[in-house]
Amino acid sequence: MKNLIIASTSTLHGGSYLDYLLSVLKEHFASCKSILFIPYARPGGISHEEYTQKVQIVFKTIGLEVKGLHEFSNPIEAIQQAEGIFTGGGNTFLLVSQLYENKVMDVLKQTLETGTPYLGTSAGSNICGLTMQTTNDMPIIYPPSFETLGVIPFNLNPHYLDPDVNSKHMGETRETRIKEFHQFNTAAVLGLREGSWLEVKGASIVLRGTLTARLFRANQEAVELESGSELSFL
């Protein structure tokens, strides 16, 4: 039975890393003594070691040990044997490229589908959808495929932003970009605002947090979903 927390972001404005989710994560990983961290997205180009150390400091506060996937000579085996898994944010193109290069995309999907507790934030949430095509990230590297884990039956747009009527920015809004996606693709897209997350338990997918999320479907008007909404119908 799938057991996933899929969060828009790791850090809220004015907060510290994962602090808004720590109480949720303590319960989510209650059966674990250690977490396998996938640092491949490397936000800002930091090293795998630096990224893992950042995560270790935070998870230590809830009594969990953290090891980075890059530390293992056999990453497939490391994922299969992990008590819990966390994939952090950064660049989704880089993350997906590394998952394919290290031949762990399929084994990660299989492991999550059999119930290993998982946390994804930002890029680590993007990969839970059918494809990574609704990421906000720059294509700094070309992955062999845009297909991702597909452990939820739709795509995500983490860090979803509503248009600012007072802004002088004349570029595309997130809604415009998602509409462009739907000119060529049929997958539903959930715009997940900062501080929101999806709680996946088996076939159930529930929106959590205090904010609504915006659901986009091809050839339909976008709709707002209240916190607590069940999304398994997608």
Catalytic positions are 122, 137, 159
Q: Are 30 and 84 in contact (CB under 8 A)?
A: no
**DSSP codes joined into one string, 86-142:** EE--S-HHHHHHHHHHTT-HHHHHHHHHTT--EEEETHHHHTTSSBSTT--S---S-
Cα–Cα distance between 212 and 228 in angstroms, integer? Answer: 9
Q: Are 10 and 121 in contact (CB under 8 A)?
A: yes
Q: Which two tokens stand for residue 101?
A: 């290069």
Angle of the 92-101 helix axis to the 105-113 helix axis, nearest 10: 100
Q: Are 193 and 160 in contact (CB under 8 A)?
A: yes
Q: Are 43 and 91 in contact (CB under 8 A)?
A: yes
